[in-house]
Structure 1
């Protein structure tokens, strides 16, 4: 297998195994894949990850110009490392304990073993003096493991989800090991300034390392010190691709079809989420149901379309959430549907990007009511798609996107009364105000696209490489 100068390490490969297509693999629709696709297109790189099916053995192969390095996981490892520690311990803990995290030693042991396997695969795939970019919370130990195996590498880590305040983080029984794992990276990226601050505070409290704006001083086994940079790099989208789709005649025609299929209501509200308890789906359903009950909205005039793509269907909290949401949707529709109009069109499935852009164009109001979210790229996708400068974005202040998208209508999703008032404000907003707000939002998303995100992060890694090289030269002399 040839070694690459740039290697991405992520829980999943950017492809799914599909025996019905030529070559047996097709590109995955996930957010991380979408974000990193432009980066990998421009680099002769490699991607290390799990192929997405337990027990699937595959040799490294090339896909659309990128070398893919599969890491095999057994059924037990998927249960313990992925569904257990990653998504039943870390995910709820890092999302402000919206659901109770569970701490099980067996899960942690599997997490360590799988992280070691990913680190070994990355070390083998990377050329001398190369760069490795580790992605997200499933692989928090990989940076330190890589540094131990390959001190010649420049290592970056990007944390796509929130990093919690110390009072919550300190619950984690393996808090020191995780911090030490992350500090193996030269650059540790977060979505928000607040997340980087939470991480630095955890390092000070737990490890007693010196933390400054310029970096964190990390002692090395040989008695020297190394500097690790921890700061915000807000992730974004490939804005141009969404604009291009939104201008296509077939996509615009599909948007008109969607409105027609819903009975041509005056207003369409839209929610697009993974089916996850962090997304605030229950809160928006409650607010919408109460607006119908209060008579402030009429089912003949307004429809809520809720796309909730399947997620972690073997984790108990997600099974319960799906039952609760579907029961709520059924109750609201039973109370308010007419023969010609449905209150809520609920879609428990994923859709290709063309269909999503058509939905964005059809929707008058986009509801992003996350209780806690690292970024929420759907908010940016909606803005990028509105080439007509129409539509209103309602955005939770607890989503990372709220730091950038200041012209959205910001809400606290826990405040149902204000959420209801904000929905009414959006529905009643004049075209002139919609245009004013949307133009400002679109400029922000266009100026800060995924290419800028990746360039900023990789520039920071180049700076770290130069700094470390200078430090090694000084130590040698």
Structure 2
């Protein structure tokens, strides 16, 4: 790591978080390490080749940091105060947008002071990106915490090519229309040249919201955005389903020490005939309560026994200062305790509940140990855990039970698809997964693995950046006025 340098980056990523975590060394000195995650992995080659810059928050309030270079990437920290974290991040982002965009599974709260903080912080990110970007640079804004940045950035720097990717669902208009600031958010997103979503349905929901709220014309994936002079700019809104660094999971799954750890996990659980696995952030969108209800009823009905089947539930801590998350943790831990109290024996446990995060090697060992992976999300933009499980199954064994409300269901139809609200249906599919013959497991898993390995996170970033490059060429072709040729006036709908 070196100190700040003057930079004009040709490629800039703007995300809520920097791609590094702050660590304290053995002697008390501060340092940095690269964050785990597919986005960082996917963009690393682009950042290196273009001397890119990454604008984001360092993860702790009130940190005053100068821009610095780390591992070939120029990092531009955006300062957030404790009040910003409370109002913009915990409030507007995670207590308003998150529940609203996940089909109001929990009730969103609309507070004007949170919105004011959201506008203020989004402007701070936009200004930081505008300052570091070279003339005509490409800027890629990430996710729902920064939905106003594209328009703000375009106003500051009309020369830039701007992309935005929405990592979570975009709701149907009947839900989206609840948002008091619905027009401002749509206008913010339409500042981008390319707006990416996880599912075709999400892109469709966005386009419908634009038609209903703004009366802009939409054709196929293009939206005609009016400019001040009476002409129109075309914004592309379409699905770019995100994925994982599949090869890294394949490599870990083949390591002898990881395979040995998987055997140790099975032995530690008493070598049951089948291990079911759930891996989630502790979030109300993940359907953990529904999964536990189905499993508890299967034990109650006598269709499963703890001697034969164990459920391992990893629930990593999440947003522990948000009240709905505190309530969820209490409810899940009470449910686990009740089921274990009713069905445990001295030698076997019904549910092994783990409220902690684990390193990737341990997660891959869990994937290898598990006969059935349960992904029961009530609503999920993608769900990369489903893809991680598939990537690790180099033996073409194991069964993925997957909610049809996760974005991954569009790409992984060979999984056993479920409606998690249908508890009886979920119970039947869990039994089917447990009893599935090896030949059928192999057929399904080979199909799943082919998709996950071919459509990895590198392919995702290439496809999105290709769309941005096409936007750049359109920009250049009309001399900086990104006007859609032959654009007509918007149609009211």
- Is the pair's TM-score, using the shorter chain for normalization, greater than 0.5? yes
Separation in structure 2 between the aligned mates of residue 347 and residue 432 of structure 1, nearest angstrom: 32
Offset at 1:128? 1.1
Query: Which of 358, 379, 401 is matched with 1:394 structurally?
Result: 401
Offset at 1:66? 1.0
Query: Which of 358, 361, 382 is matched with 1:351 structurally?
Result: 358
CA, structure 1 residues 424+36, in 2 after alignment: closer, same or farther (shift >3 Å)?
A: farther
Separation in structure 2 between the aligned mates of residue 302 and residue 259 of structure 1, nearest angstrom: 11
Judge conservation of contact 1:397–1:411 (CA < 8 Å) in 2: yes
| TM-score between both structures, scaled by the size of structure 2 | 0.94
Q: Which runs of 5+ in 1 are unaligned?
A: none
| TM-score between both structures, scaled by the size of structure 1 | 0.97
Q: Tell me which moved more, 294-303 or 180-189.
A: 294-303
Aligned partner of residue 16 in structure 1, secondary structure: strand
Offset at 1:41? 5.1
2:383 matched to 1:376?
Answer: yes
Judge conservation of contact 1:38–1:451 (CA < 8 Å) in 2: no
Aligned partner of residue 188 in structure 1, secondary structure: strand
Q: Give 2:18's aligned residue.
A: 13
Offset at 1:439? 0.2
CA, structure 1 residues 278+46, in 2 after alignment: closer, same or farther (shift >3 Å)?
A: same
Aligned partner of residue 24 in structure 1, secondary structure: strand
Judge conservation of contact 1:370–1:399 (CA < 8 Å) in 2: yes
Aligned partner of residue 307 in structure 2, secondary structure: coil
Name the Cα RMSD after superposition. Answer: 1.5
Q: Tell me which moved more, 337-346 or 18-27.
A: 18-27
Query: Which of 246, 260, 265 is matched with 1:253 structurally?
Result: 260
Separation in structure 1 between the aligned mates of residue 148 and residue 182 of structure 2, nearest angstrom: 11
Offset at 1:474? 7.9
Offset at 1:191? 0.2
Q: Give 2:320's aligned residue.
A: 313
Offset at 1:127? 1.1
2:219 matched to 1:185?
Answer: no
Separation in structure 2 between the aligned mates of residue 408 and residue 71 of structure 1, nearest angstrom: 41
CA, structure 1 residues 162+299, in 2 after alignment: closer, same or farther (shift >3 Å)?
A: same
Offset at 1:240? 0.6
Q: Tell me which moved more, 151-160 or 219-228.
A: 219-228
Q: What whole-Å deviation, never above 9, does each CA across 1:190-236 have from its counterpart, x for those lacking one?
A: 00000000000000111111100151110112333110000000000
Separation in structure 2 between the aligned mates of residue 293 and residue 149 of structure 1, nearest angstrom: 62
Superposition pairs of residues 186-265 of structure 1, within 5 angstroms: 186-265=193-272
Query: Which of 327, 338, 345 is matched with 1:331 structurally?
Result: 338
Offset at 1:341? 1.1
Separation in structure 2 between the aligned mates of residue 27 and residue 281 of structure 1, nearest angstrom: 30
Judge conservation of contact 2:38–2:243 (CA < 8 Å) in 1: no
Judge conservation of contact 1:39–1:454 (CA < 8 Å) in 2: no
Q: Give 2:413's aligned residue.
A: 406
Aligned partner of residue 228 in structure 2, secondary structure: coil
Judge conservation of contact 1:49–1:71 (CA < 8 Å) in 2: yes
Q: Give 2:121's aligned residue.
A: 114
Query: Which of 62, 74, 79 is matched with 2:81 structurally?
Result: 74
Query: Which of 283, 289, 313 is matched with 1:276 structurally?
Result: 283
Aligned partner of residue 131 in structure 1, secondary structure: strand
Separation in structure 2 between the aligned mates of residue 429 and residue 475 of structure 1, nearest angstrom: 55
Separation in structure 2 between the aligned mates of residue 34 and residue 475 of structure 1, nearest angstrom: 31
Offset at 1:44? 2.4
Separation in structure 1 between the aligned mates of residue 356 and residue 309 of structure 2, nearest angstrom: 22
2:54 matched to 1:47?
Answer: yes
Separation in structure 2 between the aligned mates of residue 457 and residue 321 of structure 1, nearest angstrom: 36
Judge conservation of contact 2:222–2:236 (CA < 8 Å) in 1: yes
Judge conservation of contact 1:35–1:236 (CA < 8 Å) in 2: no
Aligned partner of residue 236 in structure 2, secondary structure: strand
2:430 matched to 1:423?
Answer: yes
Moved beyond 6 Å, runs of 4+: 473-476
Separation in structure 2 between the aligned mates of residue 202 and residue 470 of structure 1, nearest angstrom: 30
Separation in structure 2 between the aligned mates of residue 345 and residue 42 of structure 1, nearest angstrom: 45
Q: Tell me which moved more, 53-62 or 317-326.
A: 53-62
CA, structure 1 residues 34+325, in 2 after alignment: closer, same or farther (shift >3 Å)?
A: farther
Aligned partner of residue 18 in structure 1, secondary structure: strand
Aligned partner of residue 278 in structure 1, secondary structure: helix
2:294 matched to 1:287?
Answer: yes
Offset at 1:25? 1.1
Separation in structure 1 between the aligned mates of residue 397 and residue 45 of structure 2, nearest angstrom: 28
Report how many aligned residue pairs link the two structures. 476
Q: What whole-Å deviation, never above 9, does each CA across 1:91-120 have from its counterpart, x for those lacking one?
A: 000000000001000000000000000001
Query: Which of 165, 170, 178 is matched with 2:172 structurally?
Result: 165
Separation in structure 1 between the aligned mates of residue 480 and residue 70 of structure 2, nearest angstrom: 39
Aligned partner of residue 325 in structure 2, secondary structure: helix
Q: Give 1:452's aligned residue.
A: 459
